[in-house]
Chains A and B, each alone.
Chain A
Amino acid sequence: MRVRLDPGGPLMVEGPVEVELEDGTVVRSDRFQCAVCVCRRSRTYPWCDTSHRGRSHDGRRRGDEGGRER
């Protein structure tokens, strides 16, 4: 199995993955690759939800949009 750590981001693990949480519950993802949150900020913990990203307070970013899901 291959694992990759994104600097500042999640741990990428080839799926399917089972993660045992502190309270003993096990969550499973059968995605081909899973992003395991290591920053602890995710609201879908243990899966990364990109909450690790830097934030800007000047309100600037090019290419902002809304919900163009792929």
Chain B
Amino acid sequence: MTAIPVRAGPRPPVRPGAPAQPAHHAPPPRPRGELSEAALGALTGADPGEPLRLPSAREAAAVDPLGEDSQLTLYVLYELHYRGFPGVPASWEWHPDLLRLRGDLERGFEDALRERTAGGIDLAAELDALLVEPVHPQDPSVSHHLADTGVWWQLREYLAHRSVYHLKEADPHAWVIPRLTGQAKASLVAVEFDEFGGGRGERVHARLFADLLAAADLDDRYGGHLDAAPAVTLATVNLMSLTGLHRSLRGALVGHFAAAEITTAPSARRMVRALEHSGHGEPGFTRFYTEHIEADAVHEQVMRHEVIGALLAAEPELTADVVFGIQATGLLEERLAAHLVDAWTAGRVSLRVPLPDGPHAGTDA
């Protein structure tokens, strides 16, 4: 049996005014079109006290809502509510012109998701479908691909893609807390407590992922792979920010969170297998995924029985939103999986910018 560690001794000195690890936060990304050019130009060059000249609602609506330019712009505008970017004043967060542009892009994004999902209120059917494990999945599955035929450079690319979420793991879901009450709130906070390391900084899931990036010799800075992440990747995170930041979409956030927790444990098991096959089976590489096999077997139960159960007992009219959150998650994850598996099967780089030490380094992806 392991002894329970007792903490003692002086705390490390806190230097007042010391910058929060600036080296661990990557600079803002490069623009991918007119919208991101305008937004990033403002953040990095304009005065937050002045009104801005940003693309109009009509101009924003003319750009593909799931494309590179829209998704990067949304990601950058959402980032202002998380940790922002080095050198970008925090006061941009509530600039009305940026919020207006964000709202225009969010409308396009949400409409695109609703057009591509079936909707409905059959929550039991949605959950049941997620609770069955296909032995040989018909649709592309990243974890099956990596476990069966994956090679190290593909695994490293995968970590780079997922870093845009895992380095802020469970942060978007914290926004829903004040929008819940009673048991739904208590149980969701319990899951979040676990995501944030159960009170231990070194066990925060985002930290475990940063440790994995460092072990795999990848940039482990917050935002370090943002330029490399394509729109299909960014969209999976933008869905969480969208549903987390809007009280009207709290049901969808809860549906998304439950869907993610349900599907994680089996895929984390396959990720461990993939790491082992590629010769990286030591705990320094596998810890993030082994933790998720065990943790998400618990989180899944809590999300389904306690969070969704209590939320819908109190607000049954949110059922359609919970279903939407599950379906939108499935849609975006399937698009990402298809992108990754197609690229790798064809021997192509799946990132927008090849990893500096990966195959195809120094070429345009």
A interface list, Cβ under 8 A from B: 4, 6, 9-10, 12, 18, 26-35, 43-44, 47-50, 53-70
Contacts and interface: CB of A to CB of B under 8 A. Distances in A.
Contacts, number: 173
Nearest to A29: B294
B260 A68 contact: yes
Contacts of B138: 58-60
B288 interface: yes
Given A65-B336, A68-B162, A49 B269 contact: yes
Contacts of B229: none
A56 B134 CA distance: 5
Q: Specify which of B130, B205, B236 lies most central, judged by the most chain A CB atoms within 10 Å of its CB.
A: B130
Q: Closest 9 interchain pairs by CB?
A: A66-B142, A63-B330, A66-B143, A65-B333, A59-B138, A50-B265, A69-B292, A48-B297, A67-B267
Given A12-B301, A31-B295, A67-B264, A61 B133 contact: yes
Contacts of B257: 70
Interface residues on B, range: 35 or more
27 contacts: A6-B301, A6-B305, A18-B1, A31-B298, A44-B294, A50-B265, A50-B293, A50-B297, A53-B131, A54-B133, A55-B132, A56-B134, A58-B134, A59-B135, A59-B137, A60-B138, A62-B330, A65-B333, A65-B337, A66-B141, A66-B142, A66-B143, A67-B146, A67-B270, A68-B260, A70-B195, A70-B260
A55 B131 CA distance: 9
A63 B292 CA distance: 19
B329 interface: yes
B261 A70 contact: yes
Interface string B1-25: 1100000000000000000000000
B95 to A, nearest CB: 31
A68 B166 CA distance: 9
B96 interface: no
Nearest to A15: B298
Contacts of B32: none
Contact of A63 (B165, B173, B289, B326): B326
A69 B132 CA distance: 18
Q: Specify which of B132, B205, B270, B292 lies most central, judged by the most chain A CB atoms within 10 Å of its CB.
A: B132
A61 B134 contact: yes
Q: Is the interface of B mostly helix, strand, loop or mixed?
A: helix
B162 A67 contact: yes
Contacts of B264: 67-70
Given A12-B301, A66-B143, 8 more contacts: A29-B294, A32-B193, A35-B301, A50-B300, A56-B133, A63-B259, A65-B336, A69-B205
B212 to A, nearest CB: 11
A49 to B, nearest CB: 5
A68 B268 CA distance: 8
Given A12-B301, A50-B266, A63-B259, A69 B288 contact: yes
B299 interface: yes
A69 B362 CA distance: 31
Contact of A35 (B139, B195, B298, B334): B298
Nearest to A70: B260
A8 to B, nearest CB: 9
Nearest to B269: A49
A56 B205 contact: no
A15 B154 CA distance: 38
Contacts of B298: 12, 31, 33-35, 48
A31 B183 CA distance: 18
B1 A26 contact: yes
B2 A55 contact: no
B117 to A, nearest CB: 10
B280 interface: no
